[in-house]
Amino acid sequence: TEDRIAFWKSLGVNRVSVGVQSFDDGVLALLSRRHSAQQARVALQSLLAAGFVVSADLMLGLPGLNRRRLEQTLEALVQLSPHHVSVYLLEMDKPHRLALLAQRHAGLFPSEEEAAWQYLTTARFLRRAGYRHYEVSNWARPGFEARHNLRYWQGGVVLACGVGAYGQGRRSRWANTSELGEYMASLESSRFPRTWRSYLTPEAAQAEKVMLRLRLSRGVRWQEAEALAETRPRFWQLLGDFLAAGLARRRGERVRLTPRGWLVSNELFATLV
């Protein structure tokens, strides 16, 4: 609502992410979303008119999402012209309503090959519309990349402020409690509200660094990837396979994954966890 937008502005909020998912009412109904395609359009238009930096979330591999519906969604999105777009492939590795729907009506869901086509088509469409594909799931107009997320991917220090917040140092990781009462009690007694803290070994920190850098379009320095050849031989072998198959490219001192490589990147990343 306009009142809510004005309230956010008064608090100093300058960036808003909208979970659009699709601009097709049929797809939204299958997802049991409470909003309609028109409501998503109005939300984006209102936020942009109010001067917010706006990010829109889309999902691929959805039930009922065929090529025509995807193209209509992408065209509607580009017409609205948000500053940033996040696109995620539907994953059903945990039991929920969509998993049951897939068991009973598998024909509603795109095949793996079709979902891959949707991702690559989306990447091309957004690139032609002026968005830079800077991370496996994220596109932005120049200068509007998600700096908060980039800090994670680039290994920067992140302070955990708030209930359930996650923080990281160069080799440490921690999370705050997700219970508000416990969080407030910790602060009132001058204690950190952490529920856990862990430390990475130098080798594990290097492996994580390479994994996170490969999520980005800039990739990682070749020497940093090569440094894992002895400690992570399976990674080194797979990276060679990716290069041979055109799923990764080396230019000068850097190596990066291609959009096709990002589609199957979990296989590579699993060797670095």
Whole-number pLDDT of residue 19: 96
Residues 17 and 159: their CA atoms lie apart, in Å, by: 21
CB 216 within 8 A of CB 199: no
CB 170 within 8 A of CB 179: no
Whole-number pLDDT of residue 93: 60
Whole-number pLDDT of residue 230: 93
The pLDDT of residue 147 is above 70: yes
pLDDT confidence bin for 97, thresholds 50/70/90? low
- The type of residue at 38 is Q
CB 101 within 8 A of CB 67: no
pTM over 0.85: yes
Only one residue has tokens 């291609």, namely 258
> What is the tens place of the pLDDT at every residue in 57-73?
999 998 888 999 999 99
The pLDDT of residue 105 is above 70: no
Q: Which of 273, 270, 245, 267 is nearest to 258 (CA)?
A: 245
Whole-number pLDDT of residue 94: 56
> What is the tens place of the pLDDT at every residue in 237-269?
999 999 999 999 999 999 999 999 999 999 999
Q: What is the mean pLDDT of residues 125-154?
A: 95
Q: What is the mean pLDDT of residues 221-233?
A: 96
CB 146 within 8 A of CB 84: yes
**Which domains, from first to last, does the chain contain?**
2-145 (3.30.750.200), 150-199 (no CATH), 202-269 (1.10.10)
pLDDT confidence bin for 52, thresholds 50/70/90? very high
The pLDDT of residue 213 is above 80: yes
Residues 154 and 8: their CA atoms lie apart, in Å, by: 29
The pLDDT of residue 92 is above 60: yes
The pLDDT of residue 141 is above 80: yes
Whole-number pLDDT of residue 163: 95
